[in-house]
């Protein structure tokens, strides 16, 4: 989701941790694991949290180390026979929530205090280093990318300290038709809710959505992809250490079938799902539309006619396509080059930048949802399209021990002619999202912008986009004829790297969910309730009128 980020003071803290992390290894009172020590010989355990108690289950799911295949984490997974405590816990939460503007308002203050403490703890070098390294163990990415995820999460928490939680529930009043009548609009919780999040940002996505759900008064059941659930298990323990009541959040580990059964039986008032479009559409039907989605994104970047700052633009393109091994819902999936850019040294620079990435520092690494064979097979099908060609990559990583269930390929780019992309028999293949270090590159002539816009119009997922140009009329044309919910425009435009200070989410779908901002929290985790006060007095000499 997020990639290019200014770390500011976190860079200094990272330098500090290089010699201090061993000293602090035993000083994290909330932690039950040590990131560096998790291994096949010392596997970590992940528990469930329900009704205020950490619990094991009858079965354990063994997670393989994505770098060497060792069984290094044991997850206590709940099966269909063990779901009743979770169903009962959600059922105990009324539809009007744990708090709302008329009920238990002190909880707004309590959550502000918890957030203040959590923001402070996450700013400590030993804590940020712990979470960055834990993220690296389960979702391998460079240390800077992992620390960037922690940084964004910490800044989000800073944004909602103190009174900022109750300001999310700010109401408004409108004068009525007569004396004593006023209408008031309130933000109202849903009550029992569920949160389902993916593997690629194991701290940022679940924590931001979880806190938003809590702030608005809901009781969440959280499920994170089992491959990375250890990160949020440890974060929940930190939140408890900061004063969050242990009964406020339930945390479950299960397979998809079991979670689906819980949702059908518990019938939460709202479910937030971040993940694949296929699962999203199934849940939308199963839950009768009571869902918010932040699903797949085949994200595009258009380079306008004005060629400038080639080194910078090439670097951003490389980061957008290949940081975190391309495993971001905001990763650059398709690059449209104006013919002027095609004549520049852009592709040569991109080739060189991609070649710098190596497994040793995790600037390229395992792909957790696709095998090497699946990605290379997709590439071969693309290369059968008339005029297509391999620009770079297209090979398996060398000298690696990544298990076969995961993918391991070099950063890859395939050129496909614009006219071929628009053909019906090619379009679905070309715009298939490959959640790995893989992108499509194409070129358009000066008079072919309408064709490019036609490609965009046919797309189904509208998450992030970038329009790289300093021409305001060009920017206006592209932005006015596209949909993507998070769109960057200008010379420094990117598709990834969303910080906590702006909306991140899709557009064009009424089910779309945002993340990060007060507007996103209110949209996803509350609904509108109108209370009309009509207290009188009655008009003088009022008499009962004739029926109407």
Give the count of beta carbons closer than 10 Å to the beta carbon of residue 492. Answer: 13
Number of alpha carbons in the 13 Å side-chain half-sphere of residue 378: 23
N-term to C-term CA, the chain? 58
Give the whole-angstrom CA distance, residue 332 versus residue 496.
Answer: 8
Q: Which residue has the tokens 């965009």?
A: 456
317's CB contacts (< 8 A; 6+ apart) are 301, 332, 335, 346, 350
CB 525 within 8 A of CB 189: yes
Of these residues, 70, 77, 329, 433, which one is catalytic? Answer: 329
Helix residue spans in 384-541 (DSSP H): 418-421, 424-430, 449-458, 472-480, 518-525
CB 489 within 8 A of CB 474: no
Give the whole-angstrom CA distance, residue 430 versus residue 407.
Answer: 20
Q: Report phi then psi at 214, rounded to 5.
A: -65, -45
- Here the tokens at position 181 are 């009548």
Active site residue 294: yes
Of these residues, 149, 204, 294, 433, which one is catalytic? Answer: 294
What b/e string do you get for 147-186 counting C-beta neighbours within 10 Å, with b at 16 or more?
Answer: bbbbbbbbbbbbebbeebbbebbeeeeeeeeeeeeeeeeb
Number of alpha carbons in the 13 Å side-chain half-sphere of residue 379: 25
Following DSSP, what letter does each residue of 312-324 receive, concatenated? HHHHHHHHHHHGG
Name beta bridge partners: 417: none
Give the whole-angstrom CA distance, residue 43 versus residue 65.
Answer: 10
| Residues assigned a catalytic role | 294, 329
């Amino acid at each position: 989701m997020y990639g290019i980020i200014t770390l500011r003071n976190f860079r200094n803290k990272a330098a500090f941790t290089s010699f201090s992390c061993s000293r602090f290894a035993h000083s994290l009172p909330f932690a039950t694991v040590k990131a560096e020590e998790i291994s096949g010989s010392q596997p970590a355990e992940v528990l469930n949290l329900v009704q205020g108690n950490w619990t094991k289950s009858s079965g354990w799911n063994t997670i393989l180390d994505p770098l060497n295949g060792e069984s290094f984490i044991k997850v206590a997974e709940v099966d269909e026979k063990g779901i009743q405590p979770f169903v009962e816990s959600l059922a105990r939460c009324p539809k009007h929530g744990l708090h709302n503007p008329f009920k238990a308002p002190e909880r707004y203050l309590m959550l502000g205090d918890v957030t203040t403490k959590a923001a402070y703890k996450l700013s400590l070098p030993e804590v940020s280093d712990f979470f960055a390294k834990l993220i690296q163990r389960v979702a391998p990415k460079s240390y800077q990318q992992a620390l960037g995820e922690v940084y964004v999460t910490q800044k989000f928490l800073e944004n909602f300290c103190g009174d900022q939680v109750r300001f999310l529930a700010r109401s408004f009043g409108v004068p009525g038709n007569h004396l004593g009548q006023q209408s008031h609009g309130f933000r109202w919780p849903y009550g029992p809710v569920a949160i389902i999040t993916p593997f690629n940002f194991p701290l940022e996505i679940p924590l931001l959505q979880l806190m938003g759900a809590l702030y608005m008064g809901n009781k969440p059941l959280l499920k994170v992809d089992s491959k990375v659930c250890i990160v949020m298990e440890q974060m929940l323990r930190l939140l408890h250490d900061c004063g969050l009541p242990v009964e406020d959040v339930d945390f479950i580990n299960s397979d998809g079938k079991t979670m689906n059964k819980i949702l059908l039986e518990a019938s939460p008032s709202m479910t937030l799902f971040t993940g694949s479009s296929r699962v999203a559409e199934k849940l939308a039907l199963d839950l009768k539309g009571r869902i918010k989605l932040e699903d797949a994104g085949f994200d595009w970047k258009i380079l306008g006619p004005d060629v400038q700052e080639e080194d910078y633009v090439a670097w951003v393109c490389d980061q957008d396509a290949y940081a975190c091994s391309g495993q971001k819902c905001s990763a650059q999936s398709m690059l449209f080059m104006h013919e002027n850019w095609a004549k520049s040294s852009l592709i040569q620079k991109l080739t060189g930048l991609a070649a710098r990435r190596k497994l040793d520092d995790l600037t390229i690494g395992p792909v957790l949802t696709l095998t090497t064979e699946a990605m290379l097979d997709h590439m071969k099908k693309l290369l059968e399209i008339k005029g297509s060609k391999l620009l770079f990559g297209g090979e398996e990583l060398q000298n690696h021990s990544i298990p076969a269930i995961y993918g391991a390929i070099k950063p890859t780019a395939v050129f496909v002619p614009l006219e071929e992309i628009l053909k019906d028999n090619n379009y679905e293949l070309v715009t298939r999202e490959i959640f790995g270090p893989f992108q499509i590159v194409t070129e358009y002539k000066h008079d072919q912008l309408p064709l490019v816009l036609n490609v965009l119009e046919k797309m189904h997922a509208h998450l992030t986009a970038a329009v790289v140009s300093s021409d305001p009329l060009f920017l206006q044309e592209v932005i006015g004829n596209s949909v993507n919910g998070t769109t960057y425009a200008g010379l420094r435009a990117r598709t990834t790297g969303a910080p906590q200070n702006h909306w991140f989410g899709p557009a064009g779908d009424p089910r779309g969910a945002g993340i990060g901002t007060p507007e996103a929290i209110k949209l996803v985790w509350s609904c509108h309730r109108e209370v009309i006060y009509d207290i009188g007095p009655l008009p003088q000499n009022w008499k009962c009128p004739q029926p109407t």
